[in-house]
Copies of this chain bind each other. A is one copy, B any other.
Amino acid sequence: MNAENNIQTINIGILGFGTVGQGTWKHLEENDKFWAKILGVELIPQRASVRSIEKARNVKISDSALTTDSLSIVDDPEIDLICELIGGIEEAKILTLHAFEKGKSVVTANKALICEHGDELFEAAEKAGVQYGFEASVAGGIPIIKVLRESMVANEFPLIYGILNGTSNYILTRMEREGVSFEDVLTDARELGYVEADEALDLDGVDAAHKAVILAYLAHGIWVNLEDITVEGIRRISTEDLQAARKLGCKIKLIGVIRRNFENNHISVGVYPALVPMDEIIARTDGVYNGISLTGSVVGTVVLTGRGAGQDPTAGSVISDIVDLVKAKKGISGAVKLRHVTPNECKPAKAVEIQGSFYLRLTVEDRPGQLAKVADCLAEHEVSLATVSQRPKSKSATSTVILTTHDTNEHSMNMAIQSLETLQGVIEKPVLFRVFDPNAVSKG
Protein backbone atom coordinates (compact mmCIF):
# COMPACT_ATOMS: atom_id res chain seq x y z
CA MET A 1 0.00 0.00 0.00
CA ASN A 2 1.28 3.42 -0.85
CA ALA A 3 2.57 5.51 2.02
CA GLU A 4 0.63 8.61 1.09
CA ASN A 5 -2.87 7.38 1.75
CA ASN A 6 -4.17 5.33 4.64
CA ILE A 7 -0.76 4.06 5.59
CA GLN A 8 -0.48 0.45 6.65
CA THR A 9 3.06 -0.35 5.67
CA ILE A 10 6.15 1.63 4.78
CA ASN A 11 8.31 -0.24 2.33
CA ILE A 12 11.95 0.64 2.68
CA GLY A 13 14.56 0.45 -0.03
CA ILE A 14 18.18 0.32 1.04
CA LEU A 15 20.78 1.62 -1.39
CA GLY A 16 24.12 0.05 -0.54
CA PHE A 17 24.22 -3.16 1.44
CA GLY A 18 27.50 -2.85 3.30
CA THR A 19 27.93 -2.90 7.05
CA VAL A 20 25.34 -0.25 7.89
CA GLY A 21 22.88 -1.31 5.19
CA GLN A 22 22.85 -4.88 6.45
CA GLY A 23 22.57 -3.70 10.06
CA THR A 24 19.58 -1.56 9.17
CA TRP A 25 17.90 -4.45 7.36
CA LYS A 26 18.53 -6.80 10.28
CA HIS A 27 17.20 -4.50 13.02
CA LEU A 28 14.16 -3.47 10.98
CA GLU A 29 13.25 -7.12 10.49
CA GLU A 30 13.98 -8.24 14.02
CA ASN A 31 11.75 -5.59 15.55
CA ASP A 32 8.93 -5.65 13.01
CA LYS A 33 6.21 -5.98 15.65
CA PHE A 34 7.62 -3.11 17.67
CA TRP A 35 7.35 -0.61 14.80
CA ALA A 36 3.72 -1.49 14.25
CA LYS A 37 3.07 -0.81 17.92
CA ILE A 38 4.78 2.55 18.23
CA LEU A 39 3.85 3.84 14.78
CA GLY A 40 0.68 2.05 13.85
CA VAL A 41 2.59 1.23 10.69
CA GLU A 42 4.70 -1.69 9.61
CA LEU A 43 8.24 -0.92 8.48
CA ILE A 44 9.21 -3.43 5.82
CA PRO A 45 12.76 -3.60 4.49
CA GLN A 46 11.85 -4.67 0.96
CA ARG A 47 14.71 -4.20 -1.45
CA ALA A 48 18.42 -3.52 -1.32
CA SER A 49 20.99 -2.64 -3.93
CA VAL A 50 24.39 -4.33 -3.94
CA ARG A 51 27.50 -4.41 -6.05
CA SER A 52 27.38 -8.17 -6.47
CA ILE A 53 24.32 -10.32 -5.85
CA GLU A 54 26.30 -13.51 -5.36
CA LYS A 55 28.45 -12.27 -2.46
CA ALA A 56 27.91 -14.10 0.85
CA ARG A 57 26.22 -11.99 3.53
CA ASN A 58 25.56 -12.28 7.23
CA VAL A 59 21.99 -11.07 6.87
CA LYS A 60 19.27 -13.37 5.57
CA ILE A 61 17.87 -11.81 2.43
CA SER A 62 16.32 -13.41 -0.64
CA ASP A 63 18.06 -12.91 -3.97
CA SER A 64 14.86 -11.44 -5.38
CA ALA A 65 15.11 -8.55 -2.91
CA LEU A 66 18.55 -7.68 -4.24
CA THR A 67 19.47 -5.69 -7.29
CA THR A 68 22.61 -4.09 -8.63
CA ASP A 69 20.52 -1.21 -9.96
CA SER A 70 20.02 1.37 -7.19
CA LEU A 71 17.96 3.59 -9.45
CA SER A 72 15.39 0.85 -9.94
CA ILE A 73 14.73 0.90 -6.19
CA VAL A 74 14.28 4.66 -6.16
CA ASP A 75 11.89 4.37 -9.11
CA ASP A 76 9.96 1.41 -7.69
CA PRO A 77 6.44 2.68 -6.88
CA GLU A 78 6.18 0.06 -4.13
CA ILE A 79 9.10 1.64 -2.24
CA ASP A 80 8.07 4.47 0.09
CA LEU A 81 11.28 5.46 1.78
CA ILE A 82 14.94 5.32 0.74
CA CYS A 83 18.01 4.67 2.89
CA GLU A 84 21.05 5.94 1.00
CA LEU A 85 23.95 3.99 2.44
CA ILE A 86 26.17 3.58 -0.61
CA GLY A 87 28.60 6.30 0.42
CA GLY A 88 30.66 8.34 -2.00
CA ILE A 89 29.40 11.55 -3.51
CA GLU A 90 28.33 11.66 -7.14
CA GLU A 91 26.11 8.60 -7.45
CA ALA A 92 24.68 9.14 -3.97
CA LYS A 93 23.75 12.70 -4.88
CA ILE A 94 22.01 11.72 -8.10
CA LEU A 95 20.03 8.99 -6.36
CA THR A 96 19.07 11.25 -3.47
CA LEU A 97 17.86 14.08 -5.70
CA HIS A 98 15.97 11.56 -7.80
CA ALA A 99 14.26 10.18 -4.71
CA PHE A 100 13.24 13.70 -3.68
CA GLU A 101 11.76 14.29 -7.14
CA LYS A 102 9.76 11.10 -6.75
CA GLY A 103 8.39 12.48 -3.47
CA LYS A 104 10.32 9.99 -1.36
CA SER A 105 12.01 10.87 1.90
CA VAL A 106 15.63 9.75 2.33
CA VAL A 107 17.68 8.68 5.33
CA THR A 108 21.45 8.73 5.00
CA ALA A 109 24.71 8.20 6.85
CA ASN A 110 26.68 10.02 4.14
CA LYS A 111 28.65 12.82 5.81
CA ALA A 112 30.84 13.53 2.78
CA LEU A 113 27.77 14.11 0.61
CA ILE A 114 26.11 16.45 3.09
CA CYS A 115 29.33 18.31 3.77
CA GLU A 116 29.84 18.92 0.03
CA HIS A 117 26.25 19.38 -1.18
CA GLY A 118 24.13 19.89 1.94
CA ASP A 119 22.91 23.28 0.80
CA GLU A 120 21.62 22.00 -2.53
CA LEU A 121 20.18 18.79 -1.08
CA PHE A 122 18.38 20.51 1.79
CA GLU A 123 16.84 22.99 -0.61
CA ALA A 124 15.74 20.20 -2.95
CA ALA A 125 14.17 18.24 -0.09
CA GLU A 126 12.25 21.28 1.14
CA LYS A 127 11.11 22.13 -2.36
CA ALA A 128 9.88 18.55 -2.87
CA GLY A 129 8.17 18.56 0.52
CA VAL A 130 10.03 15.47 1.66
CA GLN A 131 12.24 14.70 4.63
CA TYR A 132 15.98 14.11 4.69
CA GLY A 133 17.32 12.40 7.80
CA PHE A 134 21.04 12.29 8.49
CA GLU A 135 21.45 11.50 12.20
CA ALA A 136 23.75 8.60 11.31
CA SER A 137 26.13 10.87 9.41
CA VAL A 138 27.74 12.37 12.51
CA ALA A 139 29.08 10.28 15.36
CA GLY A 140 27.26 7.02 14.56
CA GLY A 141 25.16 6.02 17.54
CA ILE A 142 25.39 9.34 19.40
CA PRO A 143 22.19 11.28 18.75
CA ILE A 144 24.06 14.53 18.31
CA ILE A 145 21.94 15.99 15.52
CA LYS A 146 18.65 15.56 17.32
CA VAL A 147 20.10 16.90 20.56
CA LEU A 148 21.59 19.91 18.81
CA ARG A 149 18.50 20.78 16.78
CA GLU A 150 15.66 19.76 19.02
CA SER A 151 16.70 19.35 22.64
CA MET A 152 18.95 22.40 22.67
CA VAL A 153 16.69 24.52 20.50
CA ALA A 154 16.73 27.37 23.02
CA ASN A 155 20.53 27.72 22.81
CA GLU A 156 23.22 29.44 20.86
CA PHE A 157 26.54 27.59 20.79
CA PRO A 158 29.74 29.42 21.61
CA LEU A 159 31.64 26.11 21.59
CA ILE A 160 31.14 22.66 20.18
CA TYR A 161 34.09 20.32 20.20
CA GLY A 162 34.91 16.67 20.35
CA ILE A 163 36.23 13.46 18.94
CA LEU A 164 34.47 12.77 15.67
CA ASN A 165 36.55 9.93 14.25
CA GLY A 166 36.82 6.63 16.09
CA THR A 167 39.67 5.13 14.08
CA SER A 168 42.12 7.92 14.79
CA ASN A 169 41.06 7.91 18.43
CA TYR A 170 41.66 4.16 18.60
CA ILE A 171 45.16 4.66 17.22
CA LEU A 172 46.00 7.50 19.62
CA THR A 173 44.63 5.56 22.58
CA ARG A 174 46.74 2.52 21.85
CA MET A 175 49.84 4.64 21.21
CA GLU A 176 49.32 6.36 24.53
CA ARG A 177 48.53 3.29 26.60
CA GLU A 178 51.08 0.91 25.11
CA GLY A 179 53.80 3.26 23.95
CA VAL A 180 53.56 1.71 20.48
CA SER A 181 54.40 3.76 17.40
CA PHE A 182 51.82 5.20 15.02
CA GLU A 183 52.87 2.83 12.22
CA ASP A 184 52.56 -0.28 14.37
CA VAL A 185 49.09 0.57 15.65
CA LEU A 186 48.03 1.54 12.16
CA THR A 187 48.98 -1.93 10.92
CA ASP A 188 46.75 -3.47 13.59
CA ALA A 189 43.91 -1.06 12.85
CA ARG A 190 44.06 -1.99 9.16
CA GLU A 191 43.89 -5.66 10.03
CA LEU A 192 40.87 -5.05 12.25
CA GLY A 193 39.15 -3.32 9.35
CA TYR A 194 38.97 -0.03 11.27
CA VAL A 195 40.60 2.08 8.56
CA GLU A 196 38.61 3.36 5.58
CA ALA A 197 39.82 2.33 2.11
CA ASP A 198 40.72 6.00 1.61
CA GLU A 199 43.02 6.29 4.61
CA ALA A 200 43.17 10.08 4.50
CA LEU A 201 39.59 10.15 5.75
CA ASP A 202 40.65 8.68 9.09
CA LEU A 203 44.31 9.64 9.38
CA ASP A 204 44.31 13.16 7.96
CA GLY A 205 41.21 14.42 9.70
CA VAL A 206 39.00 14.55 6.60
CA ASP A 207 36.19 12.40 7.98
CA ALA A 208 36.12 14.43 11.21
CA ALA A 209 36.13 17.61 9.12
CA HIS A 210 33.04 16.48 7.17
CA LYS A 211 31.26 16.03 10.46
CA ALA A 212 32.50 19.33 11.91
CA VAL A 213 31.19 21.16 8.83
CA ILE A 214 27.77 19.59 9.31
CA LEU A 215 27.69 20.47 13.02
CA ALA A 216 28.79 24.03 12.25
CA TYR A 217 25.90 24.40 9.82
CA LEU A 218 23.37 22.99 12.24
CA ALA A 219 24.57 25.23 15.05
CA HIS A 220 25.26 28.40 13.12
CA GLY A 221 23.59 28.22 9.72
CA ILE A 222 26.76 28.70 7.74
CA TRP A 223 28.26 26.19 5.32
CA VAL A 224 32.01 26.37 5.77
CA ASN A 225 34.11 25.15 2.86
CA LEU A 226 36.25 22.17 3.69
CA GLU A 227 39.08 23.86 1.77
CA ASP A 228 38.95 26.95 3.96
CA ILE A 229 39.40 25.35 7.34
CA THR A 230 42.31 23.87 9.25
CA VAL A 231 42.29 20.11 8.79
CA GLU A 232 45.21 18.26 10.32
CA GLY A 233 45.57 14.56 11.01
CA ILE A 234 47.42 12.37 13.44
CA ARG A 235 50.42 11.23 11.40
CA ARG A 236 52.90 13.52 13.12
CA ILE A 237 51.98 12.54 16.67
CA SER A 238 54.66 10.50 18.43
CA THR A 239 54.47 8.46 21.62
CA GLU A 240 56.84 11.07 23.04
CA ASP A 241 54.25 13.77 22.43
CA LEU A 242 51.63 11.70 24.17
CA GLN A 243 53.88 11.27 27.21
CA ALA A 244 54.80 14.95 27.28
CA ALA A 245 51.13 15.87 27.10
CA ARG A 246 50.38 13.58 30.00
CA LYS A 247 52.99 15.37 32.11
CA LEU A 248 51.17 18.57 31.29
CA GLY A 249 47.93 17.06 32.57
CA CYS A 250 46.54 16.54 29.08
CA LYS A 251 45.91 13.99 26.38
CA ILE A 252 46.45 14.60 22.70
CA LYS A 253 43.19 14.01 20.86
CA LEU A 254 42.17 14.64 17.29
CA ILE A 255 39.31 17.06 17.81
CA GLY A 256 36.88 18.96 15.69
CA VAL A 257 36.29 22.43 17.13
CA ILE A 258 33.55 24.89 16.23
CA ARG A 259 33.82 28.19 18.04
CA ARG A 260 31.47 31.10 17.66
CA ASN A 261 32.45 34.46 19.01
CA PHE A 262 29.25 36.42 19.46
CA GLU A 263 31.06 39.70 20.05
CA ASN A 264 32.73 39.94 16.67
CA ASN A 265 30.40 37.35 15.12
CA HIS A 266 33.23 35.15 13.99
CA ILE A 267 33.06 31.43 13.54
CA SER A 268 36.08 29.18 13.41
CA VAL A 269 35.93 25.54 12.43
CA GLY A 270 38.89 23.21 12.50
CA VAL A 271 40.03 19.65 12.97
CA TYR A 272 43.45 19.13 14.50
CA PRO A 273 45.34 17.27 17.19
CA ALA A 274 45.24 19.22 20.44
CA LEU A 275 46.25 18.80 24.05
CA VAL A 276 42.98 18.46 25.95
CA PRO A 277 43.04 18.83 29.75
CA MET A 278 42.57 15.49 31.43
CA ASP A 279 39.57 16.63 33.44
CA GLU A 280 37.56 17.01 30.24
CA ILE A 281 35.40 14.00 29.39
CA ILE A 282 36.64 14.37 25.82
CA ALA A 283 40.23 13.77 26.98
CA ARG A 284 39.14 10.52 28.56
CA THR A 285 37.03 9.36 25.66
CA ASP A 286 39.24 6.55 24.47
CA GLY A 287 39.38 3.77 21.92
CA VAL A 288 36.83 3.78 19.13
CA TYR A 289 34.48 5.97 21.14
CA ASN A 290 33.43 9.40 20.00
CA GLY A 291 32.55 12.25 22.32
CA ILE A 292 31.02 15.65 21.71
CA SER A 293 30.88 18.56 24.12
CA LEU A 294 28.19 21.14 23.39
CA THR A 295 28.27 24.42 25.25
CA GLY A 296 24.90 26.10 24.90
CA SER A 297 24.05 29.61 25.98
CA VAL A 298 21.13 28.41 28.08
CA VAL A 299 21.86 24.86 29.08
CA GLY A 300 25.59 25.07 29.78
CA THR A 301 27.81 22.20 28.75
CA VAL A 302 26.33 18.86 27.77
CA VAL A 303 28.67 16.05 26.79
CA LEU A 304 27.66 12.96 24.85
CA THR A 305 29.84 9.93 24.34
CA GLY A 306 29.25 6.65 22.59
CA ARG A 307 30.23 4.51 19.66
CA GLY A 308 30.87 6.71 16.69
CA ALA A 309 30.77 4.00 14.07
CA GLY A 310 30.07 0.33 13.55
CA GLN A 311 27.15 -1.62 12.20
CA ASP A 312 24.74 -1.55 15.09
CA PRO A 313 25.18 1.99 16.44
CA THR A 314 24.96 3.52 12.98
CA ALA A 315 22.02 1.33 11.99
CA GLY A 316 20.33 2.40 15.24
CA SER A 317 20.62 6.04 14.18
CA VAL A 318 19.36 5.25 10.68
CA ILE A 319 16.33 3.58 12.20
CA SER A 320 15.63 6.44 14.63
CA ASP A 321 15.53 8.71 11.57
CA ILE A 322 13.19 6.34 9.74
CA VAL A 323 10.86 6.35 12.74
CA ASP A 324 10.94 10.16 12.93
CA LEU A 325 10.22 10.47 9.21
CA VAL A 326 7.32 8.08 9.40
CA LYS A 327 5.93 9.95 12.39
CA ALA A 328 6.21 13.21 10.47
CA LYS A 329 4.43 11.63 7.48
CA LYS A 330 1.63 10.40 9.69
CA GLY A 331 1.41 13.71 11.48
CA ILE A 332 1.99 11.95 14.77
CA SER A 333 5.42 13.38 15.26
CA GLY A 334 6.12 15.11 18.49
CA ALA A 335 3.02 13.33 19.69
CA VAL A 336 5.22 10.64 21.13
CA LYS A 337 3.08 8.03 22.72
CA LEU A 338 3.17 8.69 26.43
CA ARG A 339 2.08 5.26 27.44
CA HIS A 340 4.33 2.37 26.85
CA VAL A 341 3.36 0.07 24.05
CA THR A 342 5.76 -2.81 24.47
CA PRO A 343 4.47 -5.68 26.53
CA ASN A 344 5.43 -4.88 30.09
CA GLU A 345 5.40 -8.42 31.33
CA CYS A 346 8.69 -7.90 33.12
CA LYS A 347 8.62 -7.96 36.90
CA PRO A 348 10.73 -6.53 39.69
CA ALA A 349 13.55 -8.88 40.67
CA LYS A 350 13.64 -10.39 44.14
CA ALA A 351 16.61 -9.62 46.36
CA VAL A 352 17.90 -13.17 46.00
CA GLU A 353 17.94 -12.68 42.24
CA ILE A 354 20.01 -9.49 42.26
CA GLN A 355 23.71 -10.24 41.95
CA GLY A 356 26.51 -7.91 42.93
CA SER A 357 29.48 -7.26 45.14
CA PHE A 358 29.62 -4.98 48.15
CA TYR A 359 31.77 -2.62 50.17
CA LEU A 360 31.44 -2.92 53.90
CA ARG A 361 32.81 -0.70 56.65
CA LEU A 362 32.72 -1.99 60.21
CA THR A 363 33.84 -0.60 63.51
CA VAL A 364 35.00 -3.50 65.65
CA GLU A 365 36.68 -4.11 68.96
CA ASP A 366 40.42 -4.26 68.43
CA ARG A 367 41.23 -7.72 69.66
CA PRO A 368 42.66 -10.94 68.29
CA GLY A 369 40.29 -13.07 66.23
CA GLN A 370 37.76 -10.32 65.61
CA LEU A 371 38.37 -10.21 61.86
CA ALA A 372 38.07 -13.98 61.65
CA LYS A 373 34.71 -13.78 63.38
CA VAL A 374 33.51 -11.25 60.85
CA ALA A 375 34.73 -13.36 57.94
CA ASP A 376 33.08 -16.46 59.39
CA CYS A 377 29.83 -14.60 59.81
CA LEU A 378 29.90 -13.54 56.17
CA ALA A 379 30.88 -17.01 55.00
CA GLU A 380 27.88 -18.48 56.79
CA HIS A 381 25.74 -16.49 54.40
CA GLU A 382 27.95 -17.48 51.47
CA VAL A 383 29.46 -14.04 51.15
CA SER A 384 33.16 -14.33 50.34
CA LEU A 385 35.74 -11.58 50.66
CA ALA A 386 37.66 -9.91 47.84
CA THR A 387 39.70 -7.34 49.80
CA VAL A 388 40.22 -6.62 53.50
CA SER A 389 41.92 -3.79 55.31
CA GLN A 390 41.99 -3.15 59.02
CA ARG A 391 43.24 -0.07 60.81
CA PRO A 392 43.15 0.70 64.54
CA LYS A 393 41.28 3.89 65.44
CA SER A 394 43.47 6.26 67.35
CA LYS A 395 42.65 6.82 71.02
CA SER A 396 40.25 3.93 71.20
CA ALA A 397 40.30 0.18 71.52
CA THR A 398 38.51 -0.20 68.19
CA SER A 399 39.46 -0.75 64.58
CA THR A 400 37.96 0.21 61.27
CA VAL A 401 37.61 -2.76 58.95
CA ILE A 402 36.92 -2.17 55.28
CA LEU A 403 35.92 -5.17 53.21
CA THR A 404 34.83 -5.78 49.67
CA THR A 405 33.05 -8.95 48.69
CA HIS A 406 33.01 -11.14 45.65
CA ASP A 407 29.76 -11.45 43.74
CA THR A 408 26.86 -12.45 45.93
CA ASN A 409 23.17 -11.60 45.96
CA GLU A 410 21.29 -8.91 47.82
CA HIS A 411 19.40 -11.37 49.96
CA SER A 412 22.57 -13.09 51.22
CA MET A 413 24.16 -9.74 51.90
CA ASN A 414 21.12 -8.50 53.80
CA MET A 415 21.15 -11.65 55.92
CA ALA A 416 24.89 -11.31 56.53
CA ILE A 417 24.47 -7.70 57.63
CA GLN A 418 21.74 -8.68 60.06
CA SER A 419 24.07 -11.25 61.59
CA LEU A 420 26.94 -8.78 61.72
CA GLU A 421 24.79 -6.26 63.57
CA THR A 422 24.45 -8.66 66.47
CA LEU A 423 27.94 -10.15 66.24
CA GLN A 424 30.01 -9.76 69.34
CA GLY A 425 32.68 -7.09 68.93
CA VAL A 426 30.95 -5.26 66.09
CA ILE A 427 30.28 -1.85 67.56
CA GLU A 428 28.36 0.33 65.11
CA LYS A 429 25.75 -0.48 62.53
CA PRO A 430 27.77 -1.67 59.52
CA VAL A 431 28.03 0.71 56.56
CA LEU A 432 27.25 -1.06 53.30
CA PHE A 433 27.63 0.19 49.74
CA ARG A 434 27.29 -1.64 46.47
CA VAL A 435 30.28 -1.98 44.17
CA PHE A 436 28.94 -1.00 40.81
CA ASP A 437 30.01 -3.14 37.89
CA PRO A 438 28.95 -1.39 34.69
CA ASN A 439 29.91 -4.44 32.65
CA ALA A 440 27.34 -6.60 34.36
CA VAL A 441 24.49 -5.10 32.41
CA SER A 442 21.70 -7.39 33.48
CA LYS A 443 22.31 -8.56 36.99
CA GLY A 444 18.77 -7.71 38.05
User: A residues engaging B (CB < 8 A)?
Assistant: 27, 31, 38, 119, 122-123, 125-126, 131-132, 135, 141-143, 146-147, 149-155, 158-159, 161, 217-218, 220-222, 224, 228-229, 236-238, 240-241, 244-245, 248, 250, 252-253, 255, 257, 259-269, 272-277, 279-282, 284, 293, 295-296, 298-307, 310, 312-313, 315-317, 319-320, 323-325, 327-329, 331, 333-349, 353-354, 359, 361, 387, 389, 400, 402, 404, 431, 433-438, 441-444
Q: Which of B268, B343, B346, B359 contacts A444 (CB 8 A)?
A: B268
* A436 and B224 form a contact (CB under 8 A): no
A29 CA to B340 CA, complexed, in Å: 35
Q: Is A275's CB under 8 angstroms from B338's CB?
A: no
Q: What chain B residues lie within 8 Å of A337 (beta carbons)?
A: 126
A315, A323, A338, A342 — most chain B CB neighbours (10 Å) = A338
How many of these chains are in the complex?
A: 2
Report the Cα distance A264→B141, complex, angstroms. 28
Contact between chains at A265 and B152 (CB < 8 Å): no
Further pairs besides A218-B340, A220-B342, A300-B310: 5, Cβ < 8 Å: A119-B339, A237-B431, A245-B359, A266-B349, A327-B333
User: Which residues of the partner chain B approach A279 to less than 8 Å between Cβ atoms?
Assistant: 284
Cβ-defined contact, A220 with B346, below 8 A: yes
Distance of A378 from chain B, by nearest CB (Å): 17
24 pairs, CB–CB < 8 Å, chain A vs chain B: A122-B339, A126-B337, A141-B300, A147-B147, A158-B442, A218-B340, A220-B346, A222-B346, A248-B387, A248-B435, A253-B436, A261-B353, A266-B349, A267-B444, A273-B433, A274-B434, A282-B438, A298-B312, A298-B316, A302-B304, A325-B334, A328-B333, A328-B334, A333-B335
List B contacts of A327 (CB < 8 A): 333-334
Q: Which residue of B lies closest to A134 (CB)?
A: B338
In chain B, what residue has the closest Cβ to A402? B244
Residue of B nearest to A160 (CB): B441
Q: Which of B299, B312, B324, B353 contacts A307 (CB 8 A)?
A: B299
Chain B residue, CB-CB nearest to A221: B340
What is the CA–CA distance of A277 and B119 in the complex, to the nearest angstrom? 45
**Residue of B whose beta carbon sits closest to that of A300:** B307
Q: How far is the CA of A237 from the CA of B433 in the complex (A)?
A: 9
A228 to B389, CA, bound (A): 34
Name the distance in Å between A366's Cβ and chain B's nearest Cβ.
16
Q: How far, in angstroms, from A304 to B143 measured CA to CA in the complex?
A: 10
